[in-house]
């Protein structure tokens, strides 16, 4: 059943559940962060409307900087602002930032522990028709290995808004990952959000497998858990919105209790959420693990729902992975 302490959307499993892109949460959160602190500024690389930086640009025109198609320059400028007392947010498609400007993020931002927030939009294959060149599926892996970098992958529009606001209050670099496609609103304004702490969204009476998920696939994981429950297979669904720092204690405890784990992410299975879970359990609690995500392949152009199904990230795929993990106990 849904964890009542999580205070999730009561209409979550309704056919007409509200759907909004997680990128809208970034736009909403950025404006609120700007209202709370005059040191918040925003920079964008020619994608102001698409990354949802536009509302901030309109409300605070003197604190917004359009850099153009120059992601490397944007990161370097932001580093200077970040060590000078400002709180810069930089945004572009994730394939370009952190994809194109990785070296500048690593050396000018992270190495200097500059107070810069990197917003990677249009992440995952749910970008759809834009195809493989615009589908960032390696960015979590790229960013989580950089020293001083925090990495957060919110599950829906509301949580992205909260994560953006909190990121402005944290000192040091943060990477925020969000998408373009609409996805169900899982949480509510009352849902707790603590940076660095996972959340148990579903807990069966007897949990045989822990489903650890991040991003917009959280909804699919919850639907899978509900269907599995009706089949007599109990699970836990853990929303791991913060990849770094990683809440290893909760994951280790869940693995110990359930005896099997499935990771779910709209990212390559190597190096992302699946990677950090595997590393953690190998050290603290060796456990059978199955991975939902891109299996060392690029995406392609197509409708987002069709792509998720083709590449094994649908509800049926999650259920089958849970059953395989349980069989391996």
Confirm whether 71 is a catalytic residue. Answer: yes
End-to-end CA gap in the chain: 23
- Tens of pLDDT along 226-281? 999 999 999 999 999 999 999 999 999 999 999 999 999 999 999 999 999 999 99
Q: What would the two tokens of residue 6 be?
A: 């999580």
Q: For the residues 306-315, what does the mean pLDDT come to? A: 97
Architecture in CATH for domain 19-184: 3-Layer(aba) Sandwich (3.40)
Cis geometry, peptide bond prior to residue 82 (ω within 30 degrees of 0): no
Question: How confident is the model over 148-187, as pLDDT tens digits?
Answer: 999 999 999 999 999 999 999 999 999 999 999 999 999 9
Mean pLDDT of the chain: 97
Q: Do domains 4-16+192-327 and 19-184 have the same CATH topology?
A: yes
**Per-domain residue ranges for the chain?**
4-16+192-327, 19-184
pLDDT bracket for residue 52 (50, 70, 90): very high
pLDDT at 46: 96
Out of 18, 54, 66, 71, pick the active-site residue.
71
Element spanning 121, H or E: strand 117-121
List Cβ<8 Å contacts ≥24 apart for 54-62.
54/27, 55/27, 55/28, 55/30, 55/31, 56/27, 56/30, 56/31, 59/31, 59/34, 60/34
Q: Which pLDDT value is given to residue 305?
A: 95
DSSP 8-state code for residue 243: E
Q: What pLDDT does residue 177 have?
A: 98
Question: Full-prediction pTM beyond 0.95?
Answer: yes
Question: What's the CATH number for 4-16+192-327?
Answer: 3.40.50.920
Mean pLDDT computed over 18-30: 98
Query: Cα–Cα distances in Å, from 66 out to 7, 43, 45, 247, 299?
Result: 39, 6, 6, 36, 30
Torsion angles phi and psi, residue 117, rounded to 5? -110, 120
pLDDT at 139: 98
Percent of all residues in the chain with a pLDDT value above 90, rounded to a whole number:
100
């Amino acid at each position: 059943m849904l964890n009542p302490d999580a205070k999730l959307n009561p209409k979550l499993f309704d056919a007409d559940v509200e759907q909004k892109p997680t990128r809208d949460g970034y736009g909403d959160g950025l404006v609120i962060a700007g209202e709370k602190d005059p040191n918040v500024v925003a920079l964008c690389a020619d994608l102001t409307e698409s990354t949802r930086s536009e509302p901030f640009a309109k409300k605070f025109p003197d604190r917004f900087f359009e850099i153009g198609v120059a992601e490397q320059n944007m990161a370097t400028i932001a580093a200077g602002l970040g060590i000078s007392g400002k709180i810069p947010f930089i945004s572009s498609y994730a394939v370009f930032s952190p994809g194109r400007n990785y070296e500048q993020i690593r050396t000018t931002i992270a190495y200097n522990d500059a107070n810069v927030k990197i917003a990677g939009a249009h992440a995952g294959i749910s970008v759809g028709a834009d195809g493989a060149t615009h589908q960032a599926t390696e960015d979590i892996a790229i960013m989580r290995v950089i020293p001083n970098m925090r990495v957060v992958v919110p599950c829906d529009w509301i949580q992205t808004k909260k994560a953006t606001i909190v990121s402005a209050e944290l000192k040091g670099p943060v990477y925020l990952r969000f998408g373009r496609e609409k996805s169900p609103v899982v949480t509510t304004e009352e849902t707790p959000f603590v940076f660095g702490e996972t959340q148990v969204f579903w807990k069966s009476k007897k949990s045989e497998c822990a489903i650890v998920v991040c991003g917009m696939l959280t909804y699919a994981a919850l639907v899978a858990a509900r269907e599995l429950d009706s089949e007599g297979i109990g699970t836990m669904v853990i929303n791991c919105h913060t990849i770094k720092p990683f809440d290893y204690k909760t994951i280790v405890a869940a693995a110990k209790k359930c005896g099997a784990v499935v990771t779910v992410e709209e990212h390559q299975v190597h190096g992302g959420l699946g990677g950090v879970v595997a590393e953690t359990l190998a050290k603290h609690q060796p456990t059978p693990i199955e991975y939902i995500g891109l299996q060392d392949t690029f995406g392609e152009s197509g409708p987002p729902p069709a792509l998720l199904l083709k590449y094994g990230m649908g509800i049926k795929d999650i259920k089958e992975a849970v059953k395989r993990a349980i069989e391996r106990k």
